[in-house]
Amino acid sequence: MPTRLVSRPAAGPWPAVAESRPPIYRALHMIEHNEDLERLLTELHRRFELAGDSGVYLVGLGAGQSPCALSISPPVLLAQVQVGPLPVLSERASVVYLRRLLELNSSGLLHAAFALDKDKIILTAALELQNLNSNELAAVLSDLEQALSEHVPELVALSQSLGG
C-alpha cells in the first residue's frame, strides 16, 4: 500500500511529525440507474431480464434454481431469492429448524442471510450502491448460489426428518 507523508508544523515543544496514511480510494462510478446495474450484470456474463416496469431484474443463478431478484433501492442494491415455504412443524421442531437457519446465517453464508417473509423463507442481501463493483456483486450472487445448492437441500432434509 502506498504511503503518503504529511508534514505537520511543530506544536509547542513537540517537533514536526510525519504521518503515514493510506490513500483514499473512491468508486469511479456509483450505480444510480438500471443501466448501471445492467452494465455490471453484463460484465459478469449473467443472464438477466427486467420483470415488467417495476425496476426489478431477475438474474439466473443456475439450473433448477430460483432466480435472484435485484432492485435498486437507494442507498442499497437489494438481492432476494425465494427459497420456499416455511415448513409447518410442531413448536419444538420449529425451534430446531429456525435455529439451524440462524446457524447457517452465522457460519455458512458470507454476504447473504436467510430470512422469513410471512410464511416463506428467502435469502436476502443488501449492497451499498456507493461502492458497489462487479466483484462485490459476483460474490453475493455466488453466495446465493452456494446457499441454494448446499444449504437448501440440507434444510429440506431437516424439515422432513422433523415431520414437515
Is 103 a member of any domain? yes
Q: Specify the pLDDT at position 36.
A: 92
Please, what are the averages of pLDDT over each run of 10 residues along the chain (164 residues)?
A: 50 53 50 90 95 92 92 95 97 97 93 96 95 93 94 96 90
Residue 126 lies in a domain: yes
Domain for residue 5, yes or no? no
The reply to whether 16 falls in a domain is no
Q: Are 108 and 151 in contact (CB under 8 A)?
A: yes
Q: Is residue 7, in this structure, part of any structural domain at all?
A: no
What per-residue confidence (pLDDT) applies to 164? 79
Task: Round to the nearest angstrom and report the end-to-end CA distance of the chain.
Answer: 54
Nearest to 125 by CA among 134, 137, 117: 137
Number of domains in the chain: 1
Q: How far is CA 30 from the centre of its chain?
A: 17
Distance (Å, whole) CA 7 – CA 15: 10
Task: Tell me if 22 is assigned to some domain.
Answer: no
* pLDDT in the model for residue 32: 80
Q: For the domain that residue 58 is a member of, what is the CATH number?
A: 3.30.1460.10
Residue 108: the pLDDT is 85
Residue 25, in any domain of the structure: no
Q: What is the pLDDT of residue 10?
A: 54
pLDDT reported for residue 62 = 84
If DSSP codes are grouped into helix, strand and coil, which group holds residue 41? helix
Tell me if 97 is assigned to some domain. Answer: yes
Domain hosting 39: range is 31-161
For residue 106, the number of C-alpha atoms closer than 13 Å in the C-beta half-sphere is 5
**Whole-number Å distance between alpha carbons of 60 and 14:** 61
Contact (CB, 8 A) for 7 and 16: yes
The pLDDT, as a whole number, for residue 53 is 83
